[in-house]
């Protein structure tokens, strides 16, 4: 709680207390901890003198401002047309298998959340996925598994 207070205080100082600062503040919280907890929303609302409902309403509009618990690494596989044509289903199947979860779920150790997303702007190099902010394109099921294994290794160290 102490840490959370401090993070939000720092972000409010950095971006300001105006409504225009709301998106950058929420984005930075998500960058730090992957999702917004109800207490984050209440605190930001208090600092910016907005109603918590208003802040929650804004956050829930945006796909990347998650308000439900997410793992440390959020995987988003593109499901729009050209990635669909180039085999996104095989990528999703491979990831579900290696992570032992379904799309929408988070692993028990809270390391990975698997999601699908709409067009990410790599239509010439599909299928593509984002892990947090990093892009992996021209995927094969084997390559996708390999990449996830690397993240698993990293989290062990």
Partner 1 sequence: MDTSNLKKVDIIFSKVDNPLQILDKALQKSPDDIINEIIDSGLKGRGGAGFPTGLKWKFTKNEDSDVKYVICNADEGEPGTFKDRQIIEEVPEKIFIGMALAAYCIGAKEAYMYLRGEYNFLKKDIIPKMEWFNNEIKNRGLDVTLYLRSGSGAYICGEESALFESMEGKRGEPRNKPPYPTKAGYNNKPTSINNVETLVFVTMIQHLGVEEFKKLGTKDSRGSKVFSISGDTPIPGIYELELGMKVSDFVREFGDGDTKAVQIGGASGFCVPRKNFENTIIGFEGIPTGGSVMLFNSSRSMYNILHNYLDFFVEESCAQCTPCRAGLQQLLKGIEAIKRREKPASYLNELIKLSQTMKVASKCGLGQSVANPFVSIVENFKEEIIF
Chain residues that interact with partner 1, rule: CB under 8 A: 18-24, 26-27, 57-58, 61-65, 79-82, 84-85, 117-126, 130, 133-135
Both tokens of 152, joined, read: 């698993």
Rounded-to-integer distance, Cα 65 and Cα 96, Å? 23
Rounded-to-integer distance, Cα 150 and Cα 115, Å? 19
Give, in order, the Cα–Cα distances in Å from 135 to each of 1, 16, 77, 108, 140. 33, 31, 10, 24, 14
Check: CB of residue 117 under 8 Å from CB of residue 77.
yes
Rounded-to-integer distance, Cα 65 and Cα 51, Å? 18
């Amino acid at each position: 709680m102490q840490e959370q207070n401090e993070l939000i205080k720092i972000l409010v100082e950095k971006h300001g207390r105006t409504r225009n600062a709301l998106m950058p503040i929420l984005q930075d919280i998500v960058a730090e901890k992957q999702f917004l907890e109800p207490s984050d929303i209440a605190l930001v609302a208090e600092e910016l003198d907005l109603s918590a409902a208003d802040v929650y309403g804004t956050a829930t509009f945006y796909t990347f401002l998650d308000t439900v618990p997410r793992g440390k690494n959020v995987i988003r596989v593109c499901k729009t047309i050209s990635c669909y044509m180039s085999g996104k289903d095989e990528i999703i199947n491979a990831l579900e298998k290696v992570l032992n979860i379904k799309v929408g779920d988070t692993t028990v150790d809270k390391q990975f959340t698997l999601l699908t997303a709409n067009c990410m702007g790599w239509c010439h190099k599909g299928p593509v996925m984002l892990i947090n902010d990093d892009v992996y394109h021209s995927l094969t099921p084997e390559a996708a598994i390999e990449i996830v294994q690397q993240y698993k290794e990293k989290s062990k160290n």
